[in-house]
Structure 1
Amino acid sequence: MNPAPGLNRTTAIATNDRTRAAATPRIKLLSHGFAIDHPDPELGERLMADALGVTDREAMHGILTQLVKASVNGQKPDEVTLSFMISMVKSIRPRDSIEAMLVAQLVCVHVMAMRCTYQLANADDVARQDSAARALGRLARTFPAQIEALNRHRNNAEPAITVQNVSVQDGGNAIVGNVTQHASVIVSDKGQAAVATEARMAQMPDRSESERIQ
């Protein structure tokens, strides 16, 4: 088992492209805790930290400990469930500490909901059915709320572009004021809009000239 890091310091774990491409190591459950099952302990920690979306050893051990406790089934952690939870966290790809905590909660809620589903299907009396159904309902409502919170956090982190020059074609509707969209919006070139405006002005006849001719 890897020893716990010192409480008075934070140990950063650097990752690179090669680390991210490598497979996430499994967790070996021991009688007195757990250990990252990898021949190179340092590389194993980097791989696990990258999978969980954290950058230091303390955060990695903290989230791992919480996932181990959440995988408990029959009063002891379950290796298969734990591997599934870590795999799901990695597939969602948390990008900062807030996302790492949200994703860990999201995966735990899913596991608990599936357990309630099993209990509901195997309940042999009305009281157990009602208890499992109520718990499943609360977890089912919590799950989409967590997804919404994660998406909202990610969208707020995306840079925005303010469009100040809008070219309107014939028959179109103009929006007066600044229009803000996400970075995926393509802003039309200011120079092209100016050229198009000048060309339309050149095609319009001068009324004063026409009156002088008459």
Structure 2
Amino acid sequence: MSGGSPDEVNLSFMISMVKSIKPRDSIEAMLVAQMVSVHVMAMRCAHHLANAEDLAQHDSAARALGRLARTFPAQIEALNRYRSHGEPAITVQNVSVGDGGNAIVGNVTQHASVIVSDKNPTSAARNAPKAAGSRRRGESADAKREAQA
């Protein structure tokens, strides 16, 4: 590297990376060129960090490397979003549904910790999960509600 411009080896690397990502239009080409430049600069900062001679050089290279390292995945995400026209990715898997079975086609959201409050104490006690120890049948509904709280 001389005078801040890439040498022939770095330039060849950068061009080969742009070609391997295969930009589909000029917007993608510009984004991919930025991505490759950010990667090259991150590697340069990593080299400076490894060869820092004092604390100021170390801190400067570490800060720059951190920023560049956060930028690159954001650029990948931007490219993926642009390529998919802002639509979420779809994962297709093989699913077997046997006779009499049910299948759901579409988006499914599951909430792991949904707590449903029931005003009727008897149905709340009946639907509540059992505690690790056994309970006596004679406990009042109030005691059961306190145990659930």
Q: TM-score, normalised by structure 2?
A: 0.59
Structure 2 gap ranges (5+): 88-96, 108-149
1:99 aligns with 2:28: yes
Q: Tell me, in whole angstroms, the C-alpha distance in 2 between the residues paired with 1:120 and 1:171.
A: 59
1:110 aligns with 2:39: yes
1:84 aligns with 2:13: yes
1:171 aligns with 2:70: no
Amino acid at match of 2:2: G
Q: Tell me, in whole angstroms, the C-alpha distance in 2 between the residues paired with 1:83 and 1:132.
A: 25
Q: Secondary structure at the match of 1:74?
A: coil
- Could you say which structure has the higher strand fraction? 1
Q: Secondary structure at the match of 1:124?
A: coil
Deviation track 1:10-64 (CA, whole Å, cap 9, x = no partner) reads xxxxxxxxxxxxxxxxxxxxxxxxxxxxxxxxxxxxxxxxxxxxxxxxxxxxxxx
Structure 1 runs, 4 residues or longer, greater than 3 Å off: none
Paired residues for 1:124-143 under 5 Å: 124-143=53-72
Question: Which residue is equivalent to 2:115?
Answer: none
Amino acid at match of 2:45: C
Q: Secondary structure at the match of 2:85?
A: helix
Question: Which residue is equivalent to 1:74?
Answer: 2
Following superposition, the deviation at residue 174 of structure 1 comes to 4.4
Amino acid at match of 1:75: G
Q: Among residues 154, 178, 187, which one is paired with 2:83 in the alignment?
A: 154
Identity %: 71
Q: 1:174 to 1:110 in 2, by over 3 A?
A: closer
Paired residues for 1:37-48 under 5 Å: none
Q: Tell me, in whole angstroms, the C-alpha distance in 2 between the residues paired with 1:129 and 1:155.
A: 40
Equivalent pairs, count: 96
Q: 1:109 to 1:156 in 2, by over 3 A?
A: same
Q: Tell me, in whole angstroms, the C-alpha distance in 1 between the residues paired with 2:61 and 2:104.
A: 55
Q: Tell me, in whole angstroms, the C-alpha distance in 2 between the residues paired with 1:128 and 1:115.
A: 13
Greater RCO, CA 8 A, separation 6+: 2
